[in-house]
Amino acid sequence: MEMSNEQIHDIASAAWNGYQYLQKLTVRERADLMYAIAEEIEALDEELINAAHRETALPLARLQGEKGRTVHQWRSYADALRTGVYADVRIDTGDGAAKSDIRKYNKGLGPVAVFGASNFPFAFSTAGGDTASAIAAGCSVVYKEHPAHPETSRIMEHAIKRGVAKFGAPDTVFDCVKGSSNSVGETLVLNPLIKAVAFTGSFRGGKALFDLGASRSEPVPVFAEMGSVNPILALPDYLNQHGETLAAQYVASLTLGVGQFCTNPGLFIAVKGSALTLLKEGLKKAISEIGESSMLHAGICKAFQENKTILSKQPDVELLGKGVNTQEDKAGAAIYLTSGAAFLANQHLREEVFGPVGLVVECSDTDEVYAVLASVPGQLTITFAATVVDIQQNSSLLTLAQEKCGRLLFGGMPTGVEVVYAMQHGGPFPATTDSRFTSVGPDAVKRFLRPVSFQNWPNQLLPQELQDDNPLKIARIVNTVYTPE
């Protein structure tokens, strides 16, 4: 079903009313609303899991886990909201004369357009982190359904709406626009009542929305998380000590979920030598054991096959090893090999192949590792497969890596984005369109907030967040001093 422009306009207008309703709720009340929605999502049964499994080919266990994660997002963002951390209250009481009484808190931006991701049908789609953080901010949500999983969306939509109704909020706080053509999303983003946009997906899709948001007569912020190649830097001392386990660990991360994660480590950078030679053998063996798998949808699989072919045909790129692949419509894992010099000379090698394909870049020395890292654009993550000695001997690599990404790992693999306060799921362009924000963890709420100051208002007319006796018991900065509830 393609919605008409009028239908989209009507939904955006209704969302304005939903936003006005949410603005009148305190942070505590919004947290309660979020709990009501979380409860409805939690109560969903096999119908949801089976629909998502049918529509995305993701395994049942993964979907069960993702459902739990989604519920956790709603509850943990609500818990954070309750503390007042996103109201971010500052009160300066002045001196009753020249210095005014000024009080500031954060309010929502307005209705937010959320675009679902195909690779997280629960955690980054209808009821995902973008929707949860917008509602936390007091923004109503108009969700643009992802065409790859309409039935999953429908079940989630109804769960949200049941939660909204049980809390007693109007149904205008959340609604969906539907249609598979780009024009549905474009019409939504250009609607003057939409005040922010959140997107998770491809660079092409995210950048198009960013440009659209900036082109409006009233520009709006567009937070697009567009993935990256998430380099692994395997440094010499670590490689000598842990090369064998690293190979297995890398292949497991590369092929997890058929390589369909924004944090999939598509790039493996190391210095050549006997340790790397051994590791390459390990990679070859490990990847050969990976079976072929269905991807999220036919379009993604087709793009994967095409991009893999393009990569394989680049000069100075050879196949290091590959997994099973007998069927055209399934993805076969593969690892390619190139040199640092070839990588530096060919910008195609810096592009993400969405799926289970890695590229090992064999560098002549750590200076070339530096040059290779310097040549890649902004990333979500960079992982140091390194010992303390490696870092101490290559501190300039750590300095450079901080400029390039949102999350730095010491050991481990970047897949697995934990939903905690300290998570930064973001990074410099083109990983996202605004490196100042995250789309995972409670801090994701910040994207949709703006401060408003009240100067010299009588106490009884102030929002509760700003009143003298702190009725909501939230943390505030009062006369420059942090004041817990």
**Residues 433-452 interacting with a copy of itself (rule: CB under 8 A):** 433-436, 438, 443, 449-452
Q: Which is nearer to a copy of itself, 61 or 482 (CB)?
A: 482
Q: Which is nearer to a copy of itself, 44 or 197 (CB)?
A: 197
Angle at 145 between CA 142 and CA 147, to 5 degrees: 165
Stretch in the footprint of a copy of itself (CB under 8 A) among 27-35, 236-244, 347-355, 455-463: 455-463
Based on the residue annotation, tell me whether 225 is a catalytic residue of this protein.
Answer: yes
Return the closest-CA partner of residue 276 out of 373, 386, 375, 361: 361
Stretch in the footprint of a copy of itself (CB under 8 A) among 144-152, 324-332, 351-359, 424-432: 424-432
CA distance 86 to 90: 12
Say if residue 53 is exposed, middle or buried (CB neighbours under 10 Å; 0-12, 13-18, 19+). Answer: middle
Q: What is the DSSP string of 191-259?
A: -TT--EEEEES-HHHHHHHHHHHHHSSS---EEEE------EEE-HHHHHHHHHHHHHHHHHHHHGGGG
Stretch in the footprint of a copy of itself (CB under 8 A) among 119-127, 238-246, 295-303, 416-424: 416-424
Are the beta carbons of 345 and 361 closer than 8 angstroms? no
Stretch in the footprint of a copy of itself (CB under 8 A) among 241-249, 312-320, 339-347, 415-423: 415-423
Q: Which is nearer to a copy of itself, 327 or 455 (CB)?
A: 455
Q: Which of 148, 176, 197, 423 binds a copy of itself (CB under 8 A)?
A: 423
CB of 409 to a copy of itself, least distance (A): 5
Say if residue 169 is exposed, middle or buried (CB neighbours under 10 Å; 0-12, 13-18, 19+). Answer: buried
Based on the residue annotation, tell me whether 176 is a catalytic residue of this protein.
Answer: no
CB of 248 to a copy of itself, least distance (A): 18
Strand pairing of 102-108 and 89-92?
A: antiparallel
Angle at 194 between CA 189 and CA 195, to 5 degrees: 110
Strand pairing of 89-92 and 476-478?
A: parallel
- Binding residues for a copy of itself restricted to 374-413, rule: CB under 8 A: 377-378, 388, 391, 398-399, 402-403, 405-412
Total residues at interface with a copy of itself (CB under 8 A): 72
CA distance 434 to 145: 23
Which residues neighbour 395 within 8 Å (Cβ) at sequence distance 6 or greater?
A: none
| Residue 432 DSSP label | B
**For residues 251, 254, 257 and 263, what is the CA-based torsion angle, rounded to 10 degrees?**
150
Q: Which is nearer to a copy of itself, 1 or 461 (CB)?
A: 461
CB of 375 to a copy of itself, least distance (A): 13
The pairs formed by 452-459 with CB atoms below 8 angstroms and a separation of 24 or more are: 452/104, 452/105, 452/106, 452/107, 453/102, 453/103, 453/104, 454/102, 454/103, 454/104, 455/100, 455/101, 455/102, 456/94, 456/100, 456/101, 456/102, 457/101, 457/103
Q: Which of 170, 205, 273, 428 binds a copy of itself (CB under 8 A)?
A: 428
Return the closest-CA partner of residue 127 out of 69, 47, 201: 69
Catalytic residue from among 40, 55, 225, 465: 225
Binding track, positions 264-303, relative to a copy of itself; x by CB under 8 A: ----------------------------------------
Q: Which is nearer to a copy of itself, 179 or 227 (CB)?
A: 227
Q: Which is nearer to a copy of itself, 166 or 450 (CB)?
A: 450
CB of 467 to a copy of itself, least distance (A): 14
Which residues neighbour 274 within 8 Å (Cβ) at sequence distance 6 or greater?
A: none
| Residue 293 DSSP label | B
Q: Which of 424, 431, 470, 472 binds a copy of itself (CB under 8 A)?
A: 424
Stretch in the footprint of a copy of itself (CB under 8 A) among 1-9, 123-131, 159-167, 456-464: 456-464
CB of 397 to a copy of itself, least distance (A): 12
Q: Which is nearer to a copy of itself, 118 or 387 (CB)?
A: 387
Catalytic residue from among 139, 176, 262, 405: 262
- Binding residues for a copy of itself restricted to 348-377, rule: CB under 8 A: 377
- Binding residues for a copy of itself restricted to 55-114, rule: CB under 8 A: 79-80, 83, 85, 90-92, 99-100, 102-104, 107, 109-110
Binding track, positions 200-219, relative to a copy of itself; x by CB under 8 A: ----------xx--x---xx
Q: Which of 116, 138, 332, 426 binds a copy of itself (CB under 8 A)?
A: 426
Binding track, positions 16-45, relative to a copy of itself; x by CB under 8 A: ----x--x----------------------
Which residues neighbour 428 within 8 Å (Cβ) at sequence distance 6 or greater?
A: 377, 378, 379, 403, 404, 405, 406, 435
Q: Which residues are bridge partners to 108 per DSSP?
A: 449
Are the beta carbons of 334 and 300 closer than 8 angstroms? no
User: Which residues have a catalytic role annotated?
Assistant: 225, 262
